Homo-oligomer: A and B are copies of this chain.
């Protein structure tokens, strides 16, 4: 199925928003303005954009420690995200969560998660809930190659499969769990083969090709929505930055710069750009305008974050219980 102009530009814009958000965070982090840990999504934009491009506002996602891309693609507001990263009271979590815990249940974001794989059972539960409530909501569960070795992957996928739940498991295989390469952490090549263990369909897709991701995710999501059960969708991609900001030399301890370079040449945004221009969906200038507009949004988000107040002393004790 061919994508419409609107769809293509929307995917493009989402990727640009993610890219520019992350580049901004990188810069702010380096200047000491953002505290804590920041795991950037640069290079993987096509996965979040392509998958979430198929979701409805009422659908759910669970995200990970590397979650900025997912939540942007699901519709989070940049200024609340940025304010959260700054630890400000106006942030999504009133500054209590930070980068690893951005959530907004009202728009279906059930939270990033600091526990690698921790979101998997939660996603299964959200899917169970929509099934019980009789809605047609779908849940998308993001996690990485490293996390596919966590026991909850196994328990979650099995549970979803026996109950035929409307959930799509999106494994972003960026070939590393921190410093441990996929070859070192599992003998299989395609993580999608693990679906066999649950009698579930499994698909591997080029995670740097946003159109391909969009199309495969669409199939899995429609399948889920139709009540036909879960799918495991593996998207092969790569992170350009170190595991987190502060990982020396973008991971030189465990990977070569040639490898990084090779993947940077497969930039998902550039790739879509070429298609768009070649197919005359957009002009270079039109695309440039998107970047400018998003830069403006980013500026506004940072300003919002910087001008926002920090939480006050008594906030520490609030929100422990409802």
Contacts and interface: CB of A to CB of B under 8 A. Distances in A.
A212 B99 CA distance: 55
Contact of A154 (B151, B161, B188): B151
Contacts of A198: 186-188
Contacts of A161: 186-187
A152 interface: yes
A194 interface: yes
Interface in A185-238: 185-188, 193-194, 196-200
A33 interface: no
Nearest to A156: B151
A107 to B, nearest CB: 30
Contacts of A275: none
A155 interface: yes
A106 interface: no
B199 A185 contact: no
A189 to B, nearest CB: 8
A308 to B, nearest CB: 41
Contacts of A151: 150-155
Contacts of A184: 162
B188 A162 contact: no
A199 B196 CA distance: 12
A77 to B, nearest CB: 36
Chain B CB within 10 Å, residue with most, of A151, A162, A187, A197: A197
A162 B185 contact: yes
A158 interface: yes
A224 to B, nearest CB: 16
A196 B190 CA distance: 11
A250 interface: no
A154 B162 contact: no
A197 B185 CA distance: 12
A153 B157 CA distance: 13
Contacts of A154: 149-151, 153-155
Contact of A187 (B149, B152, B155, B199): B199
A4 to B, nearest CB: 37
Interface of A: 149-155, 158, 161-162, 184-188, 193-194, 196-200
14 contacts: A149-B154, A149-B155, A149-B158, A151-B155, A158-B185, A158-B186, A161-B186, A161-B187, A187-B198, A188-B198, A188-B199, A193-B196, A193-B197, A197-B197
Given A161-B186, A187-B199, A193-B197, 10 more contacts: A149-B154, A149-B155, A150-B151, A151-B151, A151-B154, A153-B154, A154-B154, A162-B186, A188-B196, A193-B196
